[in-house]
């Protein structure tokens, strides 16, 4: 029975549970009968359960939450709430003691007989779950719950005009939008609902009218989901390994042969052929009858890596990506647990792939912070890879051109075996990197040097990448008269101006408004300061009007399709200059790119985070690595106001080891990881005072608790407001716990967690073990 899902009653509804084994329930838990067993085959076995339990314990959360994270999308089963009318409800409709809106909702339920809450919500505008709950509390409707299995395929609604429907129909007289929609449909044939929404905005009411009067038809159609279908697989030729690759592969092969836990740090400069080492290692593991997990920071940004793995291993590969429907995800999961596929590629949650006999876990770009989940459970897939490796006697390979300080430290301490690929393949040189000291450039966006090189590169028909960490046009909108800064009303961050859409946006909560132009305090016109990608694009057009420029950031690249389209254009030489955010820093081979300009290397340095120096080094080095992947050597120009900063100096020399040695000294002096362990306790709430009070009470408890330990055994920093003190109208405070003794810190935090829960009331408390985000 272990590992199967069951349907169980919970309060006055039903929910899905996992069977995690026999045993006595805790004393305060009430036992309930299982209503239904959902699965024929279990989703996990003892070994995987032990792993999941480890994760729950280490990240101080419940097993249930880890089970949920490990089985995303509910794995193809969910509960549907069905709503029915009661006698009282019918009576209330008659007596009319209802708001108009409530009456509409009740009438809809009455007409339908019974209706799922999802459908009801989509049918009647402005209906909320709260409203439905309120109707139920008053006994007007009743809820029941049924299990539904999700469709295996994702579908979308397709709208088309009915045969013979004409705009000149008398019924459509003076109905302007409805006529326009119908005209559009007649012209365009079958139109997905989403497209229609893009053209006409909220069309729900119009469509239901048009449908009700027989003008249109609404159908469902399967969506094609494979985001990687677009790029063709180049024929896979196994290159002869370079000497360094040969050595690295040899070590890994030896470890695979022994079948024991063996962690490696594969430190290879950009373009040194790390991926080929992964592929050989996977081949080795499959040869031994075992399976491989390959983790990537973000699957939609690594389509080419996915292609290469597929080209080598074909149908043995399952790719877990966000475009999968729950049903498809379930299928991938199932294939892995049956051993029908041998390789799973995915972002951090793929660490939970249900292989029975995993033999290798590879973490590509191991330094990337996206391996750490920001919300509960706050696990780090890179760290869990090592745990899984130990539990399953597997090989673990952490690969990067810019290893994290933590992994580098582990390699120094010989906890990891260090493998190095110091040279690019085929004797390609590393790019030359130059600094442009912006202190002498009079506030220009492009330094003299960068401007010259961009123009020169363009006239030589070569491609350029310009990197900037901020999207939008101006990153700060300020009143020149009174200094007022335009901030998001929901979040304590400044708004960004987007010129093309003439809107101001919050990059935290997504708020988007027309720029009114006047300062809310004094009425003066607001000015934009700071540079975003849009402004860089504008400046580029000023210098070389004939250059074909494109932007690659979250504004221009919403889906995988547009990313691939952009890469296609780059490959075909249809773009001269690519301007982008972090997205362009990811590991893509763009042989035509010979010049990289880092518009501002200083962006990350100001962030209050002990890792900001490390991030800056990694980002600049990774972006620089985009240059000169082809036969022509690359050139990089790094613009900075801090040319002497060690992160920038080392990045310019592309000297990871030098940087890391210095960084580790600094960390040791300041007592930061890897020389200590951290836990961040965060408090969020809607009312500022309440949130602060809760945080402060928790702080008092922590300080009292710490007096029972040896002096200095656990340090407490804060509580204090988070640097971003409000997000989506929730106030945020945090308290950092620090210790050189990881075990002690854990037991301390566990005690604290228990004691805190009595004093924090409605304020949400989350505990982040080994935190990465301090903003």
Under the rule (CB under 5 A), what is the footprint of Zn ion?
Answer: 488, 490-491, 506, 508-509, 511
490 binds, among Zn ion, ligand ADP, none (CB under 5 to 8 A by kind): Zn ion
Distance of alpha carbon 4 from alpha carbon 2, whole angstroms: 6
469 binds ligand ADP (CB under 6 A): no
Site stretch for ligand ADP (CB under 6 A), options 233-241, 565-573, 597-605, 695-703: 233-241
Closest CA to 588 of 567, 565, 614, 619: 567
Q: How many residues does the chain have?
A: 775
Q: Which of 8, 112, 147, 241 binds ligand ADP (CB under 6 A)?
A: 241
271 binds ligand ADP (CB under 6 A): yes
426 binds ligand ADP (CB under 6 A): yes
| DSSP class per residue in 638-693 | EEES-TT-HHHHHHHHT-HHHHHHHHHHHHHHHT-TTSSEEEEEEEEESSHHHHHH
Q: How far is the CB of 602 from Zn ion (least distance, A)?
A: 24
Distance of alpha carbon 657 from alpha carbon 200, whole angstroms: 56
153 binds, among ligand ADP, Zn ion, none (CB under 5 to 8 A by kind): none
425 binds, among ligand ADP, Zn ion, none (CB under 5 to 8 A by kind): ligand ADP
The residue among 239 and 559 lying less far from ligand ADP, judged by its C-beta, is: 239
The residue among 479 and 585 lying less far from ligand ADP, judged by its C-beta, is: 585
616 binds, among ligand ADP, Zn ion, none (CB under 5 to 8 A by kind): none
Q: Which of 117, 272, 402, 464 binds ligand ADP (CB under 6 A)?
A: 272
Find out whether 579 and 540 touch, Cβ atoms under 8 Å: yes
What are the beta bridge partners of residue 715? 738
276 binds ligand ADP (CB under 6 A): yes
Taking phi over 0 as left and psi of -120 to 50 as alpha, with beta for the rest, 225 belongs to: alpha
> φ and ψ at 316, to 5 degrees?
-80, 0
| C-alpha torsion angle, residues 763, 768, 769, 772 (rounded to 10) | -150
245 binds, among ligand ADP, Zn ion, none (CB under 5 to 8 A by kind): ligand ADP
Q: How far is the CB of 399 from ligand ADP (least distance, A)?
A: 7
506 binds, among Zn ion, ligand ADP, none (CB under 5 to 8 A by kind): Zn ion
Q: How far is the CB of 244 from ligand ADP (least distance, A)?
A: 9
532 binds, among ligand ADP, Zn ion, none (CB under 5 to 8 A by kind): none
Contacts of 451 (CB under 8 A, 6+ apart): 543
In terms of C-beta density within 10 A (0-12 exposed, 13-18 middle, 19 or more buried), how is residue 92 classed?
Answer: buried
Contact track, ligand ADP, 559-598, x by CB under 6 A: ----------------------------x-x---------
Q: How far is the CB of 332 from ligand ADP (least distance, A)?
A: 25
Distance of alpha carbon 238 from alpha carbon 235, whole angstroms: 10
Q: Which of 273, 377, 530, 628 binds ligand ADP (CB under 6 A)?
A: 273
297 binds, among Zn ion, ligand ADP, none (CB under 5 to 8 A by kind): none
Q: Is the dihedral of CA 451, 454, 456, 458 positive or negative?
A: negative
The residue among 208 and 512 lying less far from Zn ion, judged by its C-beta, is: 512
621 binds ligand ADP (CB under 6 A): no
241 binds, among Zn ion, ligand ADP, none (CB under 5 to 8 A by kind): ligand ADP
Distance of alpha carbon 304 from alpha carbon 345, whole angstroms: 12
Q: Which of 61, 127, 270, 556 binds ligand ADP (CB under 6 A)?
A: 270
Q: Which of 274, 310, 586, 697 binds ligand ADP (CB under 6 A)?
A: 274
Q: Which two tokens stand for residue 663?
A: 């960084």
239 binds ligand ADP (CB under 6 A): yes
Cα 400 to its chain centre, rounded Å, is 19
739 binds ligand ADP (CB under 6 A): no
Find out whether 405 and 674 touch, Cβ atoms under 8 Å: yes
Between β-strands 512-514 and 141-149, what pairing exists: parallel, antiparallel or unpaired? unpaired
Site stretch for ligand ADP (CB under 6 A), options 80-88, 156-164, 239-247, 519-527: 239-247
530 binds ligand ADP (CB under 6 A): no
Find out whether 526 and 519 touch, Cβ atoms under 8 Å: yes
Axis-axis angle for helices 612-624, 646-653 (nearest 10): 20
The residue among 220 and 426 lying less far from ligand ADP, judged by its C-beta, is: 426
Find out whether 473 and 504 touch, Cβ atoms under 8 Å: no
Q: How far is the CB of 498 from Zn ion (least distance, A)?
A: 14
Distance of alpha carbon 359 from alpha carbon 288, whole angstroms: 8
The residue among 511 and 529 lying less far from Zn ion, judged by its C-beta, is: 511
Distance of alpha carbon 322 from alpha carbon 329, whole angstroms: 9
Q: How far is the CB of 542 from ligand ADP (least distance, A)?
A: 34
Total Cβ atoms within 10 A of residue 563 = 20
The distance in angstroms from the start CA to the end CA of the chain is: 44
The residue among 167 and 511 lying less far from Zn ion, judged by its C-beta, is: 511
268 binds ligand ADP (CB under 6 A): yes
| DSSP class per residue in 293-337 | EEE-S-GGG-HHHHHHHHHHHGGGEEEE-TTS-HHHHHHHHHHHH
517 binds ligand ADP (CB under 6 A): no
The footprint of ligand ADP (CB under 6 A) covers 239-242, 245, 268, 270-276, 425-426, 587, 589
């Amino acid at each position: 029975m272990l590992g199967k899902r069951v349907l169980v009653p919970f309060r006055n509804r039903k929910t899905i549970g996992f069977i995690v084994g026999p045993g006595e329930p805790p004393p305060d838990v009430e036992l309930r009968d299982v209503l239904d067993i959902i699965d024929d085959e279990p989703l996990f076995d003892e070994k995987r359960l032990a792993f999941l339990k480890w994760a729950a314990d280490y990240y101080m959360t419940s097993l249930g939450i880890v089970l949920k994270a490990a089985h995303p999308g509910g794995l193809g089963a969910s509960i549907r709430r069905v709503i029915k009318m009661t006698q009282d409800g019918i009576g209330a409709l008659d007596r009319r003691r209802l708001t108009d809106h409530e009456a509409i909702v009740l009438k809809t339920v009455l007409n339908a007989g019974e209706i799922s809450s999802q459908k009801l919500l989509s049918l009647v505008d402005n209906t909320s779950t709260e409203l439905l709950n309120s109707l139920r509390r008053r006994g007007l409707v009743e809820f029941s719950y049924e299990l539904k299995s999700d469709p295996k395929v994702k579908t979308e609604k397709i709208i088309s005009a009915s045969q013979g429907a004409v705009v000149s129909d008398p019924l459509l007289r003076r109905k302007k939008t409805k006529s326009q929609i119908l005209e559009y449909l007649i012209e365009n044939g079958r139109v997905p609902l989403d497209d229609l929404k893009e053209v006409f905005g909220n069309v729900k009411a119009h469509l239901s009218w048009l449908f009700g009067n027989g003008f249109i038809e609404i159908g469902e159609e399967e969506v094609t989901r494979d985001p990687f279908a677009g790029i063709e697989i180049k024929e896979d030729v196994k290159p002869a390994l370079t000497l360094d690759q040969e050595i690295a592969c040899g070590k890994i092969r030896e470890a695979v042969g022994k079948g024991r836990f063996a962690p490696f740090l594969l430190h290879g400069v950009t373009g040194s052929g790390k991926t080929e080492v992964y592929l050989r290692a996977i081949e080795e593991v499959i040869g031994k009858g075992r399976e491989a997990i390959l983790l990537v920071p973000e699957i939609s940004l690594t389509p080419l890596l996915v292609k290469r793995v597929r080209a080598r291993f074909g149908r043995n590969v399952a790719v877990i990506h966000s475009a999968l429907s729950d049903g498809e995800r379930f299928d991938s999961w199932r294939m892995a647990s049956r051993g029908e596929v041998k390789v799973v590629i995915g972002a951090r949650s793929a660490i939970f792939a249900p292989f029975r006999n995993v033999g290798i876990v590879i973490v590509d770009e191991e330094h990337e912070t996206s391996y750490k989940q920001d919300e509960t459970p706050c696990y780090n897939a890179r760290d869990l890879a090592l745990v899984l490796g130990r539990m399953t006697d597997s090989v673990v390979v952490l690969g990067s051109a810019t290893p994290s300080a933590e992994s580098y430290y582990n390699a120094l301490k010989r906890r990891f075996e260090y493998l190095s690929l110091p040279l690019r393949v085929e004797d390609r040189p590393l790019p030359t990197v130059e600094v442009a000291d912006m202190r002498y450039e009079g506030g220009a966006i492009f330094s003299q040097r960068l401007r010259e090189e961009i123009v020169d590169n363009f006239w030589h028909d070569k491609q350029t990448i310009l990197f900037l960490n901020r999207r939008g046009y101006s990153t700060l909108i300020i009143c020149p008269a009174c200094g007022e800064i335009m901030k998001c009303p929901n979040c304590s961050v400044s708004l960004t101006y987007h010129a093309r859409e003439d809107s101001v946006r919050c990059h935290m909560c997504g708020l988007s408004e027309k720029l009114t132009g006047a300062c809310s305090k004094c009425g003066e016109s607001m000015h934009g300061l700071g540079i975003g990608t849009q402004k860089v694009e504008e400046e580029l057009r000023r210098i070389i009007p004939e250059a074909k420029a494109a932007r690659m950031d979250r504004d221009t690249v919403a889906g995988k399709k547009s990313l691939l389209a952009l890469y296609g254009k780059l490959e075909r030489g249809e773009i001269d200059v690519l301007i982008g955010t972090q997205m362009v820093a990811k590991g893509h081979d763009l042989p035509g790119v010979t010049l990289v300009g880092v518009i501002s290397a200083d962006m990350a340095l100001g962030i209050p985070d002990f890792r900001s120096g490390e991030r800056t080094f990694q980002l600049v080095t990774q972006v620089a690595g985009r240059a000169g992947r082809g036969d022509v050597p690359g050139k990089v120009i790094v613009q900075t106001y801090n040319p002497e900063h060690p992160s920038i100096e080392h990045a310019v020399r592309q000297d990871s080891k030098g940087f890391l040695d210095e960084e580790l000294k600094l960390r040791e002096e300041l007592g930061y990881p890897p020389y200590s362990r951290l836990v961040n306790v965060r408090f969020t709430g809607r009312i500022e005072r309440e949130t602060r009070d809760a945080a402060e009470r928790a702080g008092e408890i922590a300080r009292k608790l710490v007096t029972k330990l040896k002096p200095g055994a656990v340090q407490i920093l804060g509580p204090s407001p988070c640097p971003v003190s409000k997000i989506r109208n929730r106030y945020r405070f945090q308290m950092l716990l620090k210790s050189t003794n990881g075990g002690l810190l854990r037991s301390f935090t566990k005690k604290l967690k228990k004691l805190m829960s009595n004093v924090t009331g409605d304020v949400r408390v989350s505990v982040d073990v080994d935190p990465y985000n301090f903003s």
